[in-house]
Amino acid sequence: MMTAKTLSADQISDLENRYPQVFKRSWNKRYLLPLVVIGVVIYMIYCWWFFAIGTVLSEGQWDRAGITARQWYSYEIRPTMRMSGDEVKITYPRFSVLGNNPDPEWVSVANGTTSVRFGETQALHLTGQTVIVERGSESLAIRIGADAARPVNDAPLPSWAMLSNDEVKVNFGFAGEARIMPERISITRRFMGWPNFVFDTNSPFWNKSVGEVATMITSGERIKPEMSNLSLAFNNIWYNAEWQHGDVWIKMLQTIVMAFVGTLFAGMLALPLAFIAARNIMPNFFANQITKRLFDFLRSVDMFIWALFFTRAFGPGPLAGISAIFFTDTGTLGKLYAETLENIDDKQREGVKSVGASPMNVQRYGVIPQVMPVFLSQMLYFWESNTRSATIIGAVGAGGIGLKLWEAMRTNSNWANVAYMVVLILIVVFVFDAISNALRSRLTGDRRASQK
């Protein structure tokens, strides 16, 4: 059994003197890491100053970010209360989610008082020219004059109210807000969810419970003689005027087709070109270089730029998106295929050649079996990736769900529809990711890939 021997300080010093190249590190090894750390810190400080990150963070309109986020998962109803003497008239926007004859339960009129409830402990009561605002245990009385709305007796405003010019703004948190002005009160009432997602207000099934809809479909009299109630219900869902399910799903299908066709055509063209670019397959310097430079050109121009170019050439539509994916992926897949071919095992190819096979059969039986699983795996990965990319290039006019998404975002008022399309895109990407992983695991023989 061997035992460890401890060296004395003199022995260690003697070893250091005899072998300085082992015990004494060079200047670069001693100071490189600290210099790199100092350089990174200096660069971060420079970026902070150059981009004025501190000023951007301090002056950022974070309240607007919160408002936009709320619009993704909630909706607003905006009634207006107009005063004419002692008479109060409540009006709703023309295309209200409440339909043509809105009568919400949170608005009530009793004994000359019009009340709007913003929850169990929050409400606004209008009696004559006086408004009483209740928010929890606090209350505020506001007098509406001919020229301005002001707190009664100039009482101090609570934190949830604000005086601005001739109006008083009252904030009820997530539940909404109210602007009290001369002659009118503008109400914003907010609710969770996506309104009229299944049936819009023009549908005979609108505002019906699931049981009522099921009864109308299965045993109710025909609403339209020319079609069954089931067909009518599907038609009303597909052509929902507010959510446009039919158009959204067709655009989503266009995006999937764009990704599939563009990737398929790119793989089909990249395959023969890769054989020309591979030096061990085509021992011709000029053919190799010309093909590889073609790959460099095609993939050096971003897919987004190609989409802009083809949208200009072909006009808006899926053809521009397919062309953009085709050009970009031909360059990328061609480079990957060529590198894979240059790293194959030549023994299998030489074995096929030794039996007198023709050059075409040498590639068919000596090369293709080695590389085809890898080629298909790479193409599947790009198909999955292009499903996401097709959404982005669609925003510049290349068709698909991206164009629909951009149209909804551009209005800056339809964020619930944006959220719907984003969720749909995420679901499609997750599904295609799972399919791609499963297929690639079978091609490469790696069962662990299907569990990722």
DSSP 280-328: TTS--HHHHHHHHHHHHHHHHS-HHHHHHHHHHHH-SSHHHHHHHHHHH
Give Cβ neighbours of residue 100 (< 8 Å, ≥ 6 apart).
Answer: 201
C-alpha to C-alpha distance for 270 and 171, rounded to whole angstroms: 61
Average pLDDT of the chain to the nearest whole number: 86
Beta-carbon neighbour count of residue 48 at 10 Å?
11
What are the backbone angles phi and psi of residue 167, rounded to the nearest 5°? -135, 165
292-328 pLDDT, tens digit each: 999 999 988 889 899 988 988 888 888 888 999 999 9
- The predicted pLDDT at position 246 comes to 93
User: What predicted TM-score, i.e. pTM, was given to this entire model?
Assistant: 0.77
Answer for the pair 99, 201: CB distance below 8 angstroms, yes or no: yes
Q: Quick one: pLDDT at residue 373?
A: 84
Specify the amino acid at residue 197: F
Counting runs of H as helices and runs of E as strands, what totals does the chain give?
16, 13
CA distance 3 to 287: 66
pLDDT tier at 449, thresholds 50, 70, 90: very low
Q: How confident is the model at residue 153 (pLDDT cuts 50, 70, 90)?
A: confident
Question: What does the pLDDT average to over 72-97?
Answer: 87
> In this predicted model, what pLDDT tens digit does every residue of 26-52 receive, in sequence order?
666 677 888 899 999 999 999 999 888
| Burial of 452 from C-beta contacts in 10 A (0-12 / 13-18 / 19+) | exposed
- Measured between alpha carbons, how far is 388 from 405 in angstroms, rounded to an integer? 13
For residue 377, give the nearest of 296, 286, 329, 445 by alpha carbon: 445
pLDDT confidence band for 387 (50 / 70 / 90): confident
CATH number of 245-451, picked from 3.40.50.11540, 1.10.760.10, 3.20.20.150, 1.10.3720.10: 1.10.3720.10
Going by pLDDT thresholds of 50, 70 and 90, the confidence category of residue 125 is very high
Question: Has residue 452 got a pLDDT over 50?
Answer: no
* pLDDT surpasses 60 at 134: yes
Do 104 and 112 meet the contact criterion of CB atoms below 8 Å apart? no
Query: In the structure, what pLDDT confidence band is assigned to residue 451 with cuts at 50, 70 and 90?
Result: very low
Mean pLDDT of 210-236: 91
Q: How many beta carbons lie within 10 A of that of residue 430, not counting itself? A: 10
d(CA 270, CA 416): 41
For 3-25, what is the mean pLDDT?
68
Numbered ranges of CATH 1.10.3720.10 in the chain: 245-451
